[in-house]
Each structure stands twice: as structure tokens, then as C-alpha cells.
Amino acid sequence: MSDSPVPVTVLGLGLMGQALAGAFLAAGHPTTVWNRSAAKADELVGRGATLAASPAAAVAAGSLIVVCVTDHRAVRELLEPLGDALPGRVLVNLTSGTSREARENAEHTAAQGATYLDGVILTIPSGIGTPEATILYSGPRSTFDEHESALRALGPGATFVGEDHGLAALYDAAMLSVMWGLLNGFLHGTALLGTAGVSATSVVPMLGQGIEAVTGWIARYADQIDAGVYPADDATIDTQRAAMQHLVEESRAAGINGELPAFVTKLADRAVAEGRGGDSYAALIEQFRKSA
């Protein structure tokens, strides 16, 4: 693997694409750019980027091609006409999408003679190129290894998650689920306390302690999930279900939206009906594994 800056191409210069191209330039990579609306390249050209006249010309100029446009549809519209330009190139798609779209892209680009890595950016444009930037990649390990040095220009947290092209998108979706789960719990709990005049700001210190405690349980529960056995060495689902019912009751009495605790209670009800009332909370994974 060589650390000398390889020529790179960035297709798509929206907010994120401009940040990506800027980070490659800052790391000394000869950088060719293309955008549907050419004016968005002006600032980058001023910093030394080369503006290509067409996507095909842009692809011909780089050995590593990064695509970052609005969505999967835009990716396909951009790549399909490229035909002859792609063979031998490595395409890194940093456009957000689903795992299915990532796998489809991999198939199409393979048919066009290119190697494909799918990536997920876990930061905002201003984080690109800084230590805060984590980007997850999936696809052939050897391709990631070969280009890791260039990809680290976008952020030192370049992380390979697996050879299945859909994995980066799946990690992204899983992290969104965790994030919204946490945020919704915060919003619901804060709405409840707000009915007694407690401000959102004063909830924060106690929430921090709660989140820290839950983080501690997660590793233990993950072991149980992988083993498929859920010994309740802390609290049983029966016990937690009773607390869930209190939360539903409190929400109702306070006149706030109780759908969130009602949903969680429903999951616990089903687990109890399946004989899992004596298991740990981790046994609810069995409910999430079923389609609704």
C-alpha cells in the first residue's frame, strides 16, 4: 500500500460532496470534481481542484471515484451512462441509501467492470477531514485495505464493517434506531415531567446517569442475545412490565401522548404470553425479530 496521494474524483458537490473534495485537496490528493450545476465547483477549483466537463471525463481522471449525491436514483442516473469509463475503477458510494440499494449498486458496477465500496457518513459536512468523522465502509476487504490511506483523508475513523455491500447501510439504519429510541424516550419523559412544571434543562443531569447505566447493561444483554438465553439476573420482564403499565397510566393521567410506553408494554405482553415473563429484558429481541 502506498501513502502517496492517489488521484481522486468526486462526483456530486452538494454540501457533503464539497466537504469530501475539500478534504482530499487538503490531504494533497490530485482532485477532479464534477457536479450537475458546475458553479458549485468554483471554490474547490480556486483551491486546486480540476473541474471535469462530464462525469465520464471526471471518472477517467481518478483511480478512486467517490460519489455523493442526493439518493440512489441520482446515483443510477449518474453511473448508468458511464459504460466504458468505469472498468478498472474503484467506486466508493457515500450517498445515503438502503442495504438493498447498496447491493444493487455493487451488482451494476461489477457488470460495468468496476469495484464497489459502499459507505455511510456519520457526521455533518464540517466534520469531514476532522477526527470526529467516522465513515463506515462495506465491500471487498482487499479494496478497502488498498485505498484506506486515501479514505482516511476524509476522516481517520474510516471503519471497515464487512464484505457484504449492504452492511454499512444496515449499521447506519441500526444507529438511527438507537438514536431515535433514546431521543423519543427523552422527549416522552420530559413531556411527562413538564406537566409538573419541571423544565427540560433540569432533566438533563439525571438523564445522563440513566443513559450511562443502560450503556452498562447493553454489553451484558448483547452476550445473552448472541447466546440465545436470557437469565434475569437484574429484573424480569414481569417486573419491568408492571413499571411500563405505570408509565402508561401516568401518561394518561397527565394528558400526554402515551403511545410510546403503550407500544413497549405491548411487546412485553407478547413476551409474557410466550412464557418469557421470567426472562431478562434482552428477551424482547425475540419480539423485534418478528415482522409486525
Q: Dihedrals φ, ψ of 195, to 5°? A: -70, -15
Residue 218 touches ligand NAP, criterion: CB under 6 A: no
- Which long-range CB contacts under 8 A does 202-208 form with residues at least 24 apart? none
Least Å distance between CB 94 and ligand NAP?
A: 6
- Angle, CA of 224, 228 and 234, to the nearest 5°: 35
Three-state DSSP at 66 gives strand
- Give residue 199's region: left, alpha or beta (phi > 0; psi -120 to 50): beta
Least Å distance between CB 181 and ligand NAP?
A: 20
| Strand locations in the chain (E) | 8-11, 31-34, 50-51, 64-67, 90-93, 115-121, 134-138, 157-162
Least Å distance between CB 73 and ligand NAP?
A: 7
Least Å distance between CB 69 and ligand NAP?
A: 3
Query: What gap in Å lies between CA 260 and CA 244, rounded to an integer?
Result: 10
Which CB atom, from 124 or from 214, has the smaller least distance to ligand NAP? 124
Query: What gap in Å lies between CA 20 and CA 123, rounded to an integer?
Result: 12
Least Å distance between CB 134 and ligand NAP?
A: 11
Stretch of residues binding ligand NAP (CB under 6 A), selected from 74-82, 84-92, 228-236, 281-289: 74-82
- The closest residue (CB) to ligand NAP is 14
Least Å distance between CB 97 and ligand NAP?
A: 7
Residue with cell 466508493: 92
Residue 23: all three cell numbers together: 478534504
Which CB atom, from 72 or from 241, has the smaller least distance to ligand NAP? 72
Q: Are 121 and 151 in contact (CB under 8 A)?
A: no
Which CB atom, from 74 or from 267, has the smaller least distance to ligand NAP? 74
Which CB atom, from 7 or from 125, has the smaller least distance to ligand NAP? 125
The size of the interface with ligand NAP (CB under 6 A), counted in residues, is 22
Length of the chain: 292
Task: Show the binding pattern over residues 1-40: x = contacts ligand NAP (CB under 6 A), - = does not.
Answer: -----------xxxxxx-----------------xxx--x
Task: Considering only residues 40 through 69, tell me which ones interact with ligand NAP, judged by CB under 6 A.
Answer: 40, 68-69
Q: Are 49 and 19 in contact (CB under 8 A)?
A: no
Task: Considering only residues 91 through 130, tell me which ones interact with ligand NAP, judged by CB under 6 A.
Answer: 95-96, 121, 124-125
Sole binder of ligand NAP in the list 26, 51, 74, 203 (CB under 6 A): 74
Which CB atom, from 78 or from 232, has the smaller least distance to ligand NAP? 78
Q: Are 97 and 119 in contact (CB under 8 A)?
A: no
Which CB atom, from 153 or from 232, has the smaller least distance to ligand NAP? 153
Sole binder of ligand NAP in the list 42, 43, 77, 234 (CB under 6 A): 77
Residue 146: all three cell numbers together: 488498498
Query: What gap in Å lies between CA 107 and CA 219, rounded to an integer?
Result: 36
Element (H, E) at 174: helix 167-194
Least Å distance between CB 238 and ligand NAP?
A: 42
Which CB atom, from 69 or from 117, has the smaller least distance to ligand NAP? 69
- Which long-range CB contacts under 8 A does 203-206 form with residues at least 24 apart? none
Residues within the interface to ligand NAP (CB under 6 A): 12-17, 35-37, 40, 68-71, 74, 77-78, 95-96, 121, 124-125
